[in-house]
């Protein structure tokens, strides 16, 4: 087994799933923390289903030599439906970018007292300048912020758990009765929606990597390790938030509250890292959409870059960050659950054919 390759892909899987909404704590709050003890059980459900979907996508990539998300969608959902999901993903990317801009606005407001619109405008300007001036090299250099966000978020959660003020038992009892935004009223369905939220993005990432793995054992190892690392990170954040739930109600960036409570200067540093991390996520996502319809540096490309960035900026200022996460992410989750159902059907049919032979 190629353990260096296995660990590398597993780490990339974890970093890709950990975005701005994870780092701020909104994902953890809405999908898990708001359900109290049920959210902890929901993490276990997520682990099992993410491990299955990860293994399924990697194995399909190895078996059918899939290199794009459209090929993966067609493999599992059929030609017509798969093409439709591909177009939906383009729309989803723009919507998620709008949510991330809102996340920047909420983070900078909470950390530095800036107006939300100032934060969203700053991120939109940085993104557009990068797209128009061809400064993708900056994004590559700052790409190390991804692991930095993971490390700081997990470190904040661990330090909070070691603090004497954390009261996990109280959080487990009262969280489900508090007036909090929830992805779903059911903790079981919230867990399923979170799995669905991850799948559309994973469909373009895992199959091409699966095609490069040398054996089925390597594929199974990635499917076990990648989701386990991610769920471990999420579990630490969830438990830390539950232990401090009384002080977090209404916070747009609850993890930032934890960081500031530990050490005020750390909160400001954490906010800056979140800004850079979201910048290195939003810019490649926007570039992917623009490049699907136009070549770099062409007038059409520039018009798309300006128009889509403006659309994301408008969307990022329509509603508070938490409400945008509550609106957009569960919607993506429903489409992801359909994709999960297609995965299960396709894999079951393939296994049945092999059994008959």
What's the domain range around 324? Answer: 3-345
| Domain assignment of residue 354, yes or no | no
Among 154-158, 187-191, 300-304, 352-356, name the one with the lowest average pLDDT. 352-356
Structure tokens at 113: 């007292």
The number of folded domains in the chain is: 1
Contact by Cβ (8 Å): 31, 181: no
Q: Does any domain span residue 152?
A: yes
Q: Report yes or no on 55 lying in a domain.
A: yes
pLDDT for res 20: 64
Residue 355 lies in a domain: no
The CATH number of the domain holding residue 142 is: 1.20.1740.10
Q: Is residue 121 part of a domain?
A: yes
Helix axes 79-112, 299-318, angle to 10 degrees: 60
Q: What is the DSSP letter of 274?
A: H
Q: Quickly state the pLDDT bin for 182 (edges 50, 70, 90).
A: very high
Reported as a pLDDT band with limits 50, 70 and 90, residue 146 is low
Please give the Cα distance from 345 to 349 (Å, whole number). 6
pLDDT digits (tens, 9 = 90+) for 31-52: 999 999 999 999 999 999 999 9
Within-domain flag for 299: yes
**Average pLDDT over the chain, rounded to whole?**
87
Higher pLDDT, residue 236 or 170: 236
Residue 350 domain flag: no
Q: Can you tell me the mean pLDDT for 128-145?
A: 69
Residue 140 burial (CB < 10 Å; 0-12/13-18/19+)?
A: exposed
Give per-residue pLDDT as tens, 232-288. Answer: 989 999 999 999 998 888 888 898 998 888 888 888 888 888 888 788 778 888 888
The pLDDT of residue 137 is: 63
Which residues are CB-neighbours of 20 under 8 A, at least 6 positions away? 99, 100, 103, 104, 274, 277, 278, 281
Residue 49 lies inside a defined structural domain of this protein = yes
């Amino acid at each position: 087994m190629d353990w260096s390759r296995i660990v590398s892909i597993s780490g990339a899987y974890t970093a890709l799933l950990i975005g701005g909404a994870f780092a701020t704590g909104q994902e953890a709050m809405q999908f898990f923390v708001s359900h109290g003890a049920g959210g902890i059980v929901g993490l276990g459900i997520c682990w099992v289903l993410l491990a299955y979907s990860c293994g399924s996508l990697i194995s399909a990539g190895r078996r059918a030599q899939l290199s794009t998300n459209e090929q993966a969608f067609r493999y599992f959902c059929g030609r017509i439906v798969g093409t439709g999901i591909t177009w939906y993903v383009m729309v989803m990317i723009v919507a998620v970018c709008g949510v991330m801009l809102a996340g920047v606005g909420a983070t900078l407001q909470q950390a530095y007292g800036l107006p939300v619109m100032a934060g969203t405008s700053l991120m939109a300007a940085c993104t557009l300048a990068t797209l128009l001036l061809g400064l993708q090299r900056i994004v590559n250099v700052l790409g190390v912020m991804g692991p930095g966000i993971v490390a700081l978020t997990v470190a904040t959660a661990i330090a909070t758990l070691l603090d004497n003020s954390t009261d996990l038992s109280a959080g487990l009892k009262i969280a489900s009765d508090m007036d909090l935004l929830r992805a779903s009223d059911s903790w079981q369905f919230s867990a399923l929606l979170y799995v669905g939220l991850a799948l559309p993005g994973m469909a373009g990432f895992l199959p091409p990597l699966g095609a490069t793995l040398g054996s089925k054992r390597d594929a199974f190892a990635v499917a076990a390790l990648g989701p386990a690392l991610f769920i471990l990170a999420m579990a630490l954040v969830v438990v830390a938030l539950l232990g401090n739930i009384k002080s977090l109600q209404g916070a747009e960036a609850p993890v930032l509250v934890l960081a500031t409570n530990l050490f005020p200067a750390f909160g400001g540093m954490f906010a800056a890292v979140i800004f850079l991390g979201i910048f290195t996520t939003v810019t490649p996502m926007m570039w992917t959409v623009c490049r699907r319809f136009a070549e770099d540096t062409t007038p059409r490309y520039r018009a798309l870059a300006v128009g889509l960035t403006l659309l994301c900026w408008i969307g990022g200022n329509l509603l508070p960050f938490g409400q945008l996460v509550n609106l957009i992410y569960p919607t993506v989750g429903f489409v992801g659950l359909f994709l999960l159902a297609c995965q299960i059907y396709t894999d079951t049919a393939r296994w049945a054919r092999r059994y008959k032979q």
